Amino acid sequence: MNPQLRRTVGLTCAFIAAVLLCAAASSRWDRVPAKDHARTNPLAAHPESISAGALIYKEHCEQCHKSDATGDGHKKPSLRTDRIKSATDGDLEWFLRQGDLAHGMPSWSSLPQAQRWQLVTFLRSIQ
Amino acid sequence: MVRSSHLSSPIFSRFLTAFLLASALIPVLHAQEKPYFVTYSHDLEEPGNLEIETKTALGRPADSHHYGALATELEYGVTGWWTSELYLDGQTTGQESTLFTGFRLENRFRPLMREHWINPVLYIEYENITGADKNMLEVVGHDGQGDLAEPNDDTREEHEHEAELKLILSSNVRDWNISENFIAEKNLGHEPWEFGYALGIARPLRTLGSGKPCIFCLEKFTGGAEMYGGLGDVASLTLADTSHYIAPIIGWQLPKGRFSFSTGFGLNSNSLDRVYRIGWASELPQIGSWFRRNGGTR
């Protein structure tokens, strides 16, 4: 391989590695669009939101994340973490809507939006 | 090859009874999918969960006997983007016979990992069924009520090996689900490609959770409609001599599963006047971990 081609290939590999490292190091919430990140929970002050969110959690989330939301420590993570605490309500609603299909978290876009906000209220209450 | 004559009606009914009893006794979760019978949305099975669903179709072709067809579906979430299913089909026709009519293996894949305005799903299916199958899980080509009126003794001998492809497009917009399916089916016995379509729209009757466990509250019900029919084949892509249906649907989320019902109305003379559909779905959570747990404690 001629030296110039070798240098080009080397630089390309280094660039790809740097991009992958940056992606791995960035928080999940960095991917949330600014518009979604800034959204506030319209049901945060609704008196029945926590109990409604708890019921939705029991029906759809508890099977993986456990009744105390501590997960299994492996593929089904705890929901009582600094990462959840540091997220905005908009981040959490966006993540519930999108899921993370590549890592086993289903998209909950099939739930009505109001119920996703109730779930966010419940998740806030258990932190 | 499945020989329908080997499975007489008492065996089939015993199998069904045992299966339904087992389904009633196993702890289950709510199945979250839409109450469509023919249309697919982009909802996939949650990874590790097994959904058991039965779909019954009841109809009567003109100048023929009433029939009831049962499809039992086992749907497993392999990953977040891949769902695999096995269907076992049967039917009973008044004054004729009860038959096991074959099986179907299908897989659905979501190529895009994010939620978009329109979410595509790729569907691929292999069918090994007899000509006596009356489940109408899709309507393609020039399918019509004449096919459903033929005597079981004749159609049970016709074995069909078919491949079916679907492009599923689905959107969730303001709590409405809107789904469009484009179907291409090929009998592997040197017959032409046949085409069909299915469209569905559905919405929960109440979107806000009440916060109280309830059975009859509106948030447990989903209403909607679906429309489906054939589009001819590769030699004649046409609406002529095809059948079409429109069917209001209702889904009811119960503590042990999901019940759904629809009445399909035939839209032309080639269609059945009416076809009634009844569905029941239960979800067994994380069955993969059951096996792992049991294996680990031995």
Six-digit token string for B182: 């484009």
What SS3 class is residue B247?
Answer: strand
Residue B114: inside a domain, yes or no? yes
Same domain for A62 and A119, yes or no, is yes
Q: Yes or no: say if A60 and B32 are a contact pair by the CB < 8 Å rule.
A: yes
Based on the domain organization, do A38 and A93 belong to the same domain? yes
CA distance A26 to chain B (A): 18
CA angle (B286, B290, B293) in 5-degree steps? 130
Kindly report the three-state secondary structure assignment for every residue of chain A: CCHHHHHHHHHHHHHHHHHHHHHHHCCHHHHCCHHHHCCCCCCCCCCCHHHHHHHHHHHHCHHHHCCCCCCCCCCCCCCCCHHHHHCCHHHHHHHHHHCEHHHCECCCCCCCHHHHHHHHHHHHHCC
Cβ atoms of B144 and B136 closer than 8 Å:
no
Per-residue pLDDT at B101: 96
* pLDDT attached to residue A47: 85
Residues A39, A1 within the same domain = no
B80:A63 CB<8 A? no
User: Would you state the pLDDT for residue A17?
Assistant: 58
Contacts of B110 in chain A (CB under 8 A): 101
Q: How far is Cα A57 from Cα A111, in angstroms, rounded to an integer? A: 12
Domain range for B65? 10-288
Contact B69, B61 (CB under 8 A): no
- Whether B55 is covered by a domain: the verdict is yes
Nearest-Cα distance to chain A for B80, in Å, is 4
In a shared domain, residues A1 and A44:
no
Distance of CA B65 to the CA centre of its chain: 23
B296 at A interface, C-beta within 8 A: no
pLDDT of residue A119: 96
B52 has which bridge partners? B74, B282
Residue A64 contacts B, CB cutoff 8 Å: yes
Q: Which chain A residues are within 8 Å of B251, Cβ to Cβ?
A: none
Q: Which residues of A touch B48 (CB under 8 A)?
A: 104
d(CA B16, CA B93): 17
- b/e code A88-123 from CB counts within 10 Å (16+ = b): bbbbbbbbbbbbebeebbbbbbbbbbbbbbbbbbbb
* Out of A97, A99, A110, closest to residue B32 by CB: A110
- Closest by CA to B161, choosing from B191, B194, B196, is B191
Closest CA to B159 of B213, B103, B110, B96: B103
Confirm if A91 and A85 have CB atoms less than 8 A apart. Answer: no
Q: For residue B34, give every residue at least 6 positions away whose Cβ sits within 8 Å of its Cβ, in sequence order, or none.
A: A110, B41, B43, B177, B179, B200, B202, B222, B224, B251
Q: Are residues A9 and A39 in the same domain?
A: no
Q: Note the pTM of the prediction, 2 decimals.
A: 0.84
Residues of A in contact with B255 (CB under 8 A): none
| Nearest CB to B207; choose among A64, A104, A115 | A115
pLDDT recorded at residue A63 = 87
At B295 the pLDDT is: 53
Pair (A5, A54) in one structural domain: no
Q: Measured between alpha carbons, how far is A127 from A116 in angstroms, rounded to an integer?
A: 17
Structure tokens at B275: 């076809």
Residues A92 and A57 in one domain: yes
Long-range CB pairs of B148-154, under 8 A, 24+ apart, other chains included: B148/B59, B148/B61, B148/B64, B148/B67, B148/B272, B149/B61, B149/B62, B149/B63, B149/B64, B151/B96, B152/B91, B152/B93, B152/B96, B152/B97, B152/B99, B153/B96, B153/B97
Considering only CB atoms, which chain B residues are within 8 Å of A114? 175, 207-209
> Residue type at B171?
S
Pair of tokens at residue A64: 């993986």
pLDDT at B190: 81
Ranges of chain A with pLDDT below 70:
1, 5, 8-9, 11-28
How far, in Å, CA of A10 to CA of B266, rounded?
Answer: 66
Provide the ipTM: 0.80
Which among A50, A107, A112 is the nearest to B204, CB-wise? A112
B115 in reach of chain A (CB within 8 A): yes
Q: Do B270 and B144 contact (CB within 8 A), yes or no?
A: yes
Q: Is residue B4 part of a domain?
A: no
- CB-CB neighbors (< 8 A) of A74 in chain B: none
CATH number at residue B74: 2.40.160.40
Q: Can you give the residue range of the structural domain that contains A98?
A: 32-125
Closest residue in B to A42 (Cα) is B208
Amino acid symbol at A97: R
**Does the residue B294 lie in any domain?**
no
Which of B34, B175, B211 is opposite residue A55, by nearest beta carbon?
A: B211
My answer on whether A78 and A92 are in the same domain is: yes
Chain A residues whose CB is inside 8 A of the B285 CB are: 63
Structural domains of chain B, count: 1
Nearest neighbour of B285 by CB, restricted to A63, A109, A114: A63
As for how many domains chain A has, the answer is: 2
- Print pLDDT tens along chain B (298 aa): 333 443 444 444 544 554 455 455 454 555 457 999 999 999 999 999 999 999 999 999 998 999 999 999 999 999 999 999 999 999 999 999 999 999 999 999 999 999 999 999 999 999 999 999 999 999 999 999 999 999 999 999 998 899 999 999 999 999 999 999 999 999 998 889 999 999 999 999 999 999 888 999 999 999 999 999 999 999 999 999 999 999 999 999 998 899 999 999 999 999 999 999 999 999 998 887 776 665 544 3
Q: Closest residue of B to A63, CA-based?
A: B285
